[in-house]
Amino acid sequence: EMTKSSNGKIDLTFGDYETAFKSKTTSELIRGYLVFLLCSSTYIVDNNTKLLELGRKMLGEKLFILVMKSTFFGHFVGGEDKEEIQPKIDLFRKYHVNAILDYAVEKDISKEEAEKREMIGSLSSVKEEEDRGKEEYGGKLPKYKPEKQFADRRMDVEGARTYFYENEAICEEHAEAFIESINMVSSEEAQGYIAIKLTALGRPQLLLQLSEIIIRTREFARNITGKNGSVLHQKLTMDVLKKKLEERGIKNIDDFVKNVEADKDGIINLFPWYGIVNESKELSKTFRIPSFKEGRMVRLITQLSKDEEEMFRNMIDRLNRVICVAEEKNVSVLIDAEQTYFQPAISRIAMEMMYRYNKTKATVFNTYQAYLRESFEEIETHVDEAERQNFHFGVKLVRGAYINQERQRAKQLAYPDPVNPTYEATTDMYYKIVDDMFERIKCNKEKGQLQKLVLLVASHNEDTIEYVIEEMEIKNIEIE
């Protein structure tokens, strides 16, 4: 709850302890202080997994669970079921705080088992073909290939849950858990939110392949225009595209050109993504692109088996079911960011879900990580696409959770480090995005379209919260 000083401005000193702690009991404050002290120990933080395993062996399962619920679990986790969670949600709302439910069940599996599941879930059962135009459009792209050394995606990651693919039945269980979370957080009085991960809903192989396709498509557009970046920002028109293809003598391009998404300002997407995520297009047949070197259409995706094609449909179906329920219950769905080798696909799917569900309000949000070098360019592209296609755009902005893992993987596999070079550079990126979003929100407000762009600032940093609130006051933007 925001408090104001005598001059009417919001109190940014974080010194109003009465307001900050009035919802807490004495025992909760003592527990919070104890957890804070434990988390301040570098030794405990760096060795938390080993210490938890040791504690479970020494105390036994029942006593270990009791200790955890009295400390870390009790402080950080909302609860295990509706009976435990609902009273806490109601208490938050009493103090004008809305809840974001985050289904955080992670199975306790070994590093070896995690690597095994990830590699099986990331490799296709179909032998990769040689004529996919790889050398022409991006080369080998090792970033988007599964690598056993980094298959345990929990490695060097703090504060982000991780799902490993087991089978379709487990993905169904995750979808049902997300729907249950929606039912818990929904309310007629207040906006509810849930956070989900796409890797919980399907096979990671599909996200890897779609991400690779998106990057190769950008290279194809660069070959035509001579410019880097997204297709949308290259101002590539249908006339220019057709002319270039005709000049190169490319054959059998009718289906490709027919499926290109464009408006009066130029091409938005080279592939019919909306049809792809709504089951009217087959993946293997759709992702073909003209090869200037070979003078014919080439495939950008490994031929999928019927089972793999069905798995992709299942993943999209689960996501649609979750969002449909959320839309009915007035709950927003925050699609979490994940590793950069998954992210192009995750963002593309999120954008298509926005196009479908965000016609009147921001039901679907995509998450952007400010520690990535390309974050500003990516979010600019997506906002512009939302404006051109006339849907509401939901942004969740975070600093990011995978920095060490991303840097190590990039170094080991010899591709450019996607992470900003310094902490300060990430802060600058965060503020740059906030400033741009606020300018757009201000313009929307002047046009009577305030909710056309909704920004959710997600930060643990006091200086970031202070900066955001000060900028909101300067630009006369109200907190929703």
Say what the pLDDT of residue 10 is: 62
Task: Kindly state whether residue 12 falls inside one of the protein's structural domains.
Answer: yes
List beta partners, residue 120: none
Task: Kindly state whether residue 7 falls inside one of the protein's structural domains.
Answer: yes
Say what the pLDDT of residue 164 is: 82
CA distance 61 to 37: 24
Task: Kindly state whether residue 385 falls inside one of the protein's structural domains.
Answer: no
Element housing 353 (H / E)? helix 343-357
Say what the pLDDT of residue 190 is: 78
Residues of the chain predicted below pLDDT 50? 6, 131
The total domain count for the chain is: 1
Say what the pLDDT of residue 134 is: 55
Q: What is the largest CA-CA distance in the chain?
A: 77
- pTM given for the model: 0.89
Say what the pLDDT of residue 131 is: 45
Instruction: Count other Cβ atoms within 10 Å, centred on residue 298.
Output: 18
The torsion of the CA quartet 249, 254, 260, 266, rounded to 10 degrees, works out to 60
Task: Kindly state whether residue 51 falls inside one of the protein's structural domains.
Answer: yes
Domain that holds residue 32: 1-77
> Cβ distance 55 to 64 under 8 Å?
yes
Task: Kindly state whether residue 219 falls inside one of the protein's structural domains.
Answer: no
Task: Kindly state whether residue 401 falls inside one of the protein's structural domains.
Answer: no
Task: Kindly state whether residue 209 falls inside one of the protein's structural domains.
Answer: no
Task: Kindly state whether residue 16 falls inside one of the protein's structural domains.
Answer: yes
The torsion of the CA quartet 273, 376, 137, 271, rounded to 10 degrees, works out to 10
